[in-house]
Amino acid sequence: MLNPCDSGFLDALDAALPARTLRPAEERYLREPRGRYLGQAGAVACPASTAEVATIVKAAQAARVGVVPYGGGTGLVGGQVMSAGPAPLILSLERMNRVRAVEPAGNVMVAEAGCILADVQTAAADVDRLFPLSLGSEGSARIGGLLGTNAGGTGVLRWGNMRDLTLGLEVVLADGSVLHGLKRLRKNNMGYDLRHLMIGSEGTLGVVTAASLRLFQRPARTGAAMLVVPSPEAALKLLALAQARLGEGISGFELMAGQGPRFVAEVLPQVRQPFAQVPDWMVLIDLGLIAALDPVVELEALFEAAAEDGLVSDGVIASNEAQRAQFWALREAIPEANRLIGAVASHDVSVPLAAIPAFIERATAALAALGDMRINCFGHVGDGNLHFNIFPAQGRDRAEYEPIRAQVIETVHDLVAGFDGSVSAEHGIGRLKTGDLERYGDPVALAVMRQIKAALDPRGILNPGAVLRSEVRGGRRARVAPTHPRSRARPCLFGEGRAGGERVGVFAAR
Amino acid sequence: MLNPCDSGFLDALDAALPARTLRPAEERYLREPRGRYLGQAGAVACPASTAEVATIVKAAQAARVGVVPYGGGTGLVGGQVMSAGPAPLILSLERMNRVRAVEPAGNVMVAEAGCILADVQTAAADVDRLFPLSLGSEGSARIGGLLGTNAGGTGVLRWGNMRDLTLGLEVVLADGSVLHGLKRLRKNNMGYDLRHLMIGSEGTLGVVTAASLRLFQRPARTGAAMLVVPSPEAALKLLALAQARLGEGISGFELMAGQGPRFVAEVLPQVRQPFAQVPDWMVLIDLGLIAALDPVVELEALFEAAAEDGLVSDGVIASNEAQRAQFWALREAIPEANRLIGAVASHDVSVPLAAIPAFIERATAALAALGDMRINCFGHVGDGNLHFNIFPAQGRDRAEYEPIRAQVIETVHDLVAGFDGSVSAEHGIGRLKTGDLERYGDPVALAVMRQIKAALDPRGILNPGAVLRSEVRGGRRARVAPTHPRSRARPCLFGEGRAGGERVGVFAAR
C-alpha cells in the first residue's frame, strides 16, 4: 500500500532539495481540461534538473509515496490527475524547459521534458527545420506528457506520432536511477528498445526528463484545400488518389462531418467558414511540397481528377498562407466548439482504414436506436483515427442523457472492437480508460504489462492507477496463461469496477 | 539451469505434435553466414501453426530446455546459433510462411514469421504496393528474424527500419501463451507498446509468429545515380542538398569508399563498374518520385547544383531501370566481395550524422597506427550507419592479424562510443556482441533489460545467451542502482568474459 504525501515526507524531502522546489498543490494542477474533475495532491514538486527528479523519486520510493508526473496538464484521459487513494506528490517538469542542443545538420534536437511543444517547434524553425508534431494544445502541452501519451495530432500521416519522432530518452526510474538514453541515432540495435517501452507508458514506468527528437527539412512550399466529399468512403478514395499523385507531399488529411463547422458557427461565429452552406462531409488537405511543385497547381489538378471520379463536388483552394491558416483555424476550433456545446460522450478511436465508412454508418445507426443525439465525427482519417463525439439533440440538455451515457460509450467501443480497432487511438489510457483496456485489450498483453510494471516499479509509486488499475496489484494479478479467457465482464468505464478495488473517481465527463 | 534437448524431451514433444514436425538438426541450421562457427542442437522443430509453436515452447518451459528461434539463418551476430551450454531445440518458423492477408486499401499486410522478405515484397507488388525493407539477404531472410533484429538495410532513410514498418505482432511467450496483437492500426495507444519491446529482442522475450506490416504507394518513377564525391563530408552536404531539393523522394543514399568497388573488381570481375578509374569516394543515390517529376531531370539538376558547390566531380545517371539495377548490383556485391577477400574484423556502427567525417578520419588514423590494413567503409550514410570493415594489406593473410584483432575492434568501438554512437547499428547483439552491450551500453538500461527478461522468461529458455549473457542470471544479476558505476572492465568481445560464466564459443570471425 502507498502512503500519503504528508508533511513528514515533505519536510524530509524539502531538506534534500533547493528552496522553493516544493510548492502547494494549486488548483490548476488538479483540474483536467474537460473541467468536471478535481484531483488531489500533498504538494507539487518543481525540480530544475534530472538529479533533483532522481532525488524526489528515490525519496518517494523509500517512503512509498505516489508520484504523478505532470506536463502541460492537457491530457484528456486523466493520466495527470489522481482523485482517490493516498494523496500523491505531483512532479511537474515545468522548470526543466531547456532545449539542450539543436543540430540542424544531424536533424536532431535534445529538449527537456518541460519544454512546451510550440517552443520546440519554434526552436526547430529557428534553424530552418521542422518538428512536425502538431495538435490543438501545442501552446500548453509539454514534451514529457506528449511522450507519456505517445501523442498524435494532424501530422501523423506524414511524419508519424511522438514515438516515431523520438530517437532517445533520459528517464528517471522508480528507484531514482537515471537511464541515460539520449542517443541521436537513426539506427541503434543495442538490446531491448526501452525508449518505446517508456513512450506511451504515461509516467507509470519512469519519469522522462529529456528526449532527443527528430527534425525534418521544412517543405519548400505549402498549400491547402477544403474539399466537399459526398461520403467518408469518397474521402478515403480521395486520400488514395492524392497519395498516388503526391506521395509524401500530403502533410495532413482531416475529415470533418458538417456537424463540426455547424457547432463552430453556433458558438464561435468569429471563425471563418469556407462554404456558405455547410456540407455534410468535407476534407481539409494540407500539402508540403518541394520547390519544383506548385501547391495550387497540384491541388487544382487533384480536384479535377477527383471530380471526374465523383469524389469531390465543391472545394476551396487556399491561394495564400492566410487562407491556409483560416482552413486550419476552422478545423482547430472544433474541439473548443465541442466543449462549449457540451458532449454526452467523446471517443478517440481508430479502425483499419477500409473499415471507416462501415464504422461510421453502423455507429450512427446504433446510436439513433438509443435516442435522439447529434454526432460530431472528425479526425485524422488518413490514420484511421476518428473523434466520434456525441452531443444532445438541439435544445436538449446533456443531463437528460445521463441514464444512457454508459450505453452510448459501450455501443461505440463495442463496434470499434468488432472492427479490430482501438478505443484509445491517440489520447492514451490514463485513469479514464483502464476498464476499456481490461475489456478490449488482449488479456495476455495486459498480463505482460502488469509483469513489466511489477518488475520496474515494484512498489507501484509511479502514477498509481494510470494505465493499469492499482487494485490488481497484490495477490490478484492476472497471470499469463495460454488458456486465459477473454474477459466477458461488463466494461468498467468509470471506476464502477471490481469489488475491493480502488475506485477511480468521478471521470464522468468526456 | 537449463536441461539439454535430449531424447526423453523430444519423444514426449513428438507425441504432442504432428508427424515430422521434429527433425534432425541438419548442419545448415548450425552454421552462420560468415562461415567459421558451428552451433549445436538436439533437434529442429518446424511447426506449421501458432498453436504448434505454443505447444513446443510450453513443453520447453516445463522441461527447462532452451529454444533458439530460427528464421532465414542470415543473422551476422550469432543470434541464431548456440555453441555452448546444454543443447537447445532450434525452432524454425520456415513452414509458417503464409501471407494471411493483403489489404492494399488499408496499406497493410499480415505475414507469418516464416515468410521470406523477397516473397513479402512480391506479395506487396502484386497489389501495386511497396514493402520497402530491402537488404542483401532478402532472398533468404525471414520476417521473424528481421523483426527479431529490427533489420535495417538501404530503405531506412525514407521508410524506416523493420520496427517502423510493423503495426502489430502475434507472439508466443515463454509460457506458451499467445499474445494476439496483430492490429492493423496506425494509431493505437492501448497501454505499453509490447510490439516494440519484442522487435529487436532477438527471440529472447517471445517467438514472433506473425506480423502486420505497413505497405506504401509504389513511387511512380524511379531513378539512380552514382556520383563521385571528394570526401564523406561532401557526401553529407550532398545529402542535405538532395533532401532540400527532393524531400522524401530520396529512397536510398549509400556511401562507398573506393576499396569496395576495388574488392569487387578483384574477386567479382563480372560486376559492372560505373567508372573506369575507381574514385576514392562515391555515393549511390536512389530516387522514387511522383509522376510529375522526371528522375533524370532531377538528378541532372542536382548534379549541377552540387558541382557548383564543389560537392561532386563526376557522375553517372541511370537512363533506365537496367542501369539503375547495375548500380545497385555493385553496391550489393560489396558484402560478398568482403567475404571472399576475408576480413580481419567487421563493424556495424552508427554515429550522429555530423560526426561521420571525423569518425572515418580518426578511425583510419588509429588503425594505421596499429598496422598495415585496408579499410572498406561503406553504408547507409543517411542513417549515420557505416560498415567499417578491416582487411589485411595486399598480399598478406588475415591470420597474421590475429594478435591485434581484438585491439582493432576495441579501437573502432571505443571511437564510436566517444562519438556517442552505437556499436550495433542494424545487426543486433546476438551472442557476438553481448560483451559490447555490457561495455558500451548504459548500465541502467542493461539492468532494466535483465529485469524484463527475468519477468517475461523467468526460466531463461528463450534464445539463451543472446542479447544478455546467461551466466549473469542467478544471483549475480545487476541491479538498478542510482550510483551504478559505468563498467570499466575490458570488453568481452568473444566470450572471453567473466569467470564462471557460460562461454559463448568461437565467435571469432566477423
Residue A476: its pLDDT value, please?
36
* Spatial distance between the Cα atoms of A323 and A226, rounded to a whole number of angstroms: 10
Q: How confident is the model at residue B480 (pLDDT cuts 50, 70, 90)?
A: very low
Residue A500 has pLDDT above 60, yes or no: no
Minimal Cβ distance to A480: which of B175, B190, B423: B175
Minimal Cβ distance to A190: which of B244, B290, B429: B429
User: Rounded to the nearest 5 degrees, what angle is found at the Cα of A238, between the Cα atoms of A234 and A244?
Assistant: 145
> What residues of chain A lie within 8 A of the CB of B56, using their CB?
none
Residues 7-46 of A with CB under 8 A from B: none
Q: Characterize the bridge pairing of strands B129-130 and B216-217.
A: antiparallel
User: Rounded to the nearest 5 degrees, what angle is found at the Cα of B178, between the Cα atoms of B173 and B183?
Assistant: 115
**Does the complex come out with an ipTM higher than 0.85?**
yes
Q: Identify the CA nearest to B432 among candidates B364, B497, B339.
A: B497
> What residues of chain A lie within 8 A of the CB of B200, using their CB?
189, 191-193
Residue B487: its pLDDT value, please?
35
> What residues of chain B lie within 8 A of the CB of A184, using their CB?
352, 420
Residue A498 has pLDDT above 50, yes or no: no
Pairwise CB contact (< 8 Å): B422 & A468: no
Which residues have C-beta within 8 Å of that of residue B364, sequence separation ≥ 6?
B375
* Spatial distance between the Cα atoms of B383 and B157, rounded to a whole number of angstroms: 6
Question: pLDDT digits over B64-112, tens only?
Answer: 999 999 999 999 999 999 999 999 999 999 999 999 999 999 999 999 9
> What residues of chain A lie within 8 A of the CB of B247, using their CB?
217, 219, 248-249, 289-290
Q: Identify the CA nearest to A401 among candidates A362, A361, A343, A346.
A: A343
Question: pLDDT digits over B345-376, tens only?
Answer: 999 999 999 999 999 999 999 999 999 999 99
Is the minimum CB–CB distance between B304 and chain A shorter than 8 Å?
Answer: no
CB B509 within 8 A of CB B35: yes
Minimal Cβ distance to B185: which of A185, A384, A452: A384
Residue A470: its pLDDT value, please?
80
Residue A458 has pLDDT above 90, yes or no: yes
- The residue-averaged pLDDT of B411-426 equals 97
Q: What CATH class has A219-337?
A: alpha beta
Q: How confident is the model at residue A34 (pLDDT cuts 50, 70, 90)?
A: confident
Minimal Cβ distance to B190: which of A152, A354, A422: A422
Q: To the nearest whole angstrom, how far is the Cα of B270 from the nearest Cα of chain A? A: 33
CB B142 within 8 A of CB B203: no
Question: Residue A260: phi, psi to the nearest 5?
Answer: -60, -60
Residue A497: its pLDDT value, please?
28
Fold for the domain defined by B221-418: Alpha-Beta Plaits (3.30.70)
Residue B38: its pLDDT value, please?
85
Half-sphere exposure (Cβ direction) of A338: Cα atoms closer than 13 Å: 30
Residue B37: its pLDDT value, please?
73
Q: How confident is the model at residue A38 (pLDDT cuts 50, 70, 90)?
A: confident
Q: Identify the CA nearest to A67 among candidates A180, A175, A197.
A: A175
Report chain A's mean pLDDT, rounded to a whole number.
91
If you measure CA to CA, which chain A residue comes closest to B417? A183
If you measure CA to CA, which chain B residue comes closest to A153? B187
Pairwise CB contact (< 8 Å): A426 & B187: yes
Question: pLDDT digits over B127-144, tens only?
Answer: 999 999 999 999 999 999
Beta strands across the sheet bearing B348-350: B314-317, B221-228, B281-289, B250-257, B373-380, B385-392, B348-350
Residues 176-205 of A with CB under 8 A from B: 176-181, 183-194, 196-197, 199-201, 205
- The residue-averaged pLDDT of A199-219 equals 97
CATH no. for A7-92: 3.30.43.10
Q: How confident is the model at residue B426 (pLDDT cuts 50, 70, 90)?
A: very high
* Spatial distance between the Cα atoms of B163 and B140, rounded to a whole number of angstroms: 19
Question: pLDDT digits over B166-212, tens only?
Answer: 999 999 999 999 999 999 999 999 999 999 999 999 999 999 999 99
CATH no. for A101-217: 3.30.465.10
Residue A488 has pLDDT above 80, yes or no: no
- The residue-averaged pLDDT of B411-439 equals 96
Pairwise CB contact (< 8 Å): B291 & A245: yes
Q: To the nearest whole angstrom, how far is the Cα of A247 from the nearest Cα of chain B? A: 6
> What residues of chain A lie within 8 A of the CB of B444, using their CB?
173, 177-180
Report chain B's mean pLDDT, rounded to a whole number.
91
For chain B, percent of residues with pLDDT exceeding 90: 90
Please state, in angstroms and as integers, the Cα–Cα distance from residue A364 to each residue in A346, A367, A411, B249, following that order.
14, 5, 10, 40
Residues 323-352 of B with CB under 8 A from A: 350-352
Strand partners, B130: B216
Question: pLDDT digits over A271-327, tens only?
Answer: 999 999 999 999 999 999 999 999 999 999 999 999 999 999 999 999 999 999 999
> What residues of chain B lie within 8 A of the CB of A424, using their CB?
188-190
Pairwise CB contact (< 8 Å): A192 & B449: yes
Q: Identify the CA nearest to B376 among candidates B404, B399, B344, B419.
A: B344
Classify A255 as helix, strand or coil: strand
Q: How confident is the model at residue A471 (pLDDT cuts 50, 70, 90)?
A: low
Q: How many CB pairs under 8 A join A and B?
A: 287
Residue B469 has pLDDT above 90, yes or no: yes
Residue A415: its pLDDT value, please?
98
Q: To the nearest whole angstrom, how far is the Cα of B394 from the nearest Cα of chain A? A: 33
* Spatial distance between the Cα atoms of B15 and A174, rounded to a whole number of angstroms: 46
If you measure CA to CA, which chain B residue comes closest to A174? B480
Q: To the nearest whole angstrom, how far is the Cα of B31 from the nearest Cα of chain A? A: 23
If you measure CA to CA, which chain B residue comes closest to A481? B177
Please state, in angstroms and as integers, the Cα–Cα distance from residue B194 to each residue in A437, A473, B180, B481, following that order.
14, 20, 11, 25
Q: To the nearest whole angstrom, how far is the Cα of B372 from the nearest Cα of chain A? A: 30
Q: Strand runs (DSSP E) across A215-249, as ranges?
A: 216-217, 221-228
Strand partners, B282: B228, B256
Residues 72-111 of A with CB under 8 A from B: 103, 105-108
Minimal Cβ distance to B191: which of A163, A354, A441: A441
Residue A491: its pLDDT value, please?
29
> What residues of chain B lie within 8 A of the CB of A445, using their CB?
179-181, 191, 194
Domain boundaries, chain B: 221-418
Q: To the nearest whole angstrom, how far is the Cα of B149 from the nearest Cα of chain A? A: 7
Q: To the nearest whole angstrom, how far is the Cα of B52 from the nearest Cα of chain A? A: 12
For chain A, percent of residues with pLDDT exceeding 90: 90
Q: To the nearest whole angstrom, how far is the Cα of A308 from the nearest Cα of chain B? A: 19
The stretches of B126-172 forming alpha helices (DSSP H) are 143-148, 156-159
> What residues of chain B lie within 8 A of the CB of A458, using their CB?
none
> What residues of chain B lie within 8 A of the CB of A155, using their CB?
none
For chain A, percent of residues with pLDDT exceeding 70: 92
- The residue-averaged pLDDT of A106-119 equals 97
Q: How confident is the model at residue B36 (pLDDT cuts 50, 70, 90)?
A: low
Please state, in angstroms and as integers, the Cα–Cα distance from residue A215 to each residue in A101, A104, B137, B233, B234, following that order.
12, 7, 31, 20, 21
Residue B496: its pLDDT value, please?
28
* AA identity, residue A78: G
Minimal Cβ distance to B186: which of A184, A194, A384: A384
> What residues of chain A lie within 8 A of the CB of B352, using their CB?
103, 106, 108, 184-185
Pairwise CB contact (< 8 Å): B422 & A185: yes
Residue A304: its pLDDT value, please?
98
State whether the Cα torsion B248-B250-B252-B254 is positive or negative. negative
Q: To the nearest whole angstrom, how far is the Cα of A276 from the nearest Cα of chain B? A: 33
Question: Grid coordinates 494549486 are at which residue?
Answer: A26
Residue B497 has pLDDT above 80, yes or no: no
Residue A485 has pLDDT above 60, yes or no: no
Q: How confident is the model at residue A33 (pLDDT cuts 50, 70, 90)?
A: confident
Q: How confident is the model at residue B471 (pLDDT cuts 50, 70, 90)?
A: low
Q: Which of A149, A180, A186 should be substituted to probe chain B, the one whose Cβ sees the most B Cβ atoms within 10 Å?
A: A186
C-alpha cell of residue A231: 461520403
Question: pLDDT digits over A133-171, tens only?
Answer: 999 999 999 999 999 999 999 999 999 999 999 999 999
Minimal Cβ distance to B425: which of A187, A290, A420: A187
Pairwise CB contact (< 8 Å): A445 & B353: no
Residues 355-394 of B with CB under 8 A from A: 380, 382-385
Pairwise CB contact (< 8 Å): B189 & A429: yes
Pairwise CB contact (< 8 Å): A107 & B353: yes
Minimal Cβ distance to A247: which of B184, B248, B455: B248
Q: To the nearest whole angstrom, how far is the Cα of A393 from the nearest Cα of chain B? A: 30
Question: pLDDT digits over A3-22, tens only?
Answer: 999 999 999 999 999 999 99
C-alpha cell of residue B378: 561503406
Pairwise CB contact (< 8 Å): B177 & A447: yes
Pairwise CB contact (< 8 Å): A179 & B428: no
- The residue-averaged pLDDT of A88-101 equals 98
> What residues of chain B lie within 8 A of the CB of A426, using their CB?
187, 189
Residue B329 has pLDDT above 70, yes or no: yes
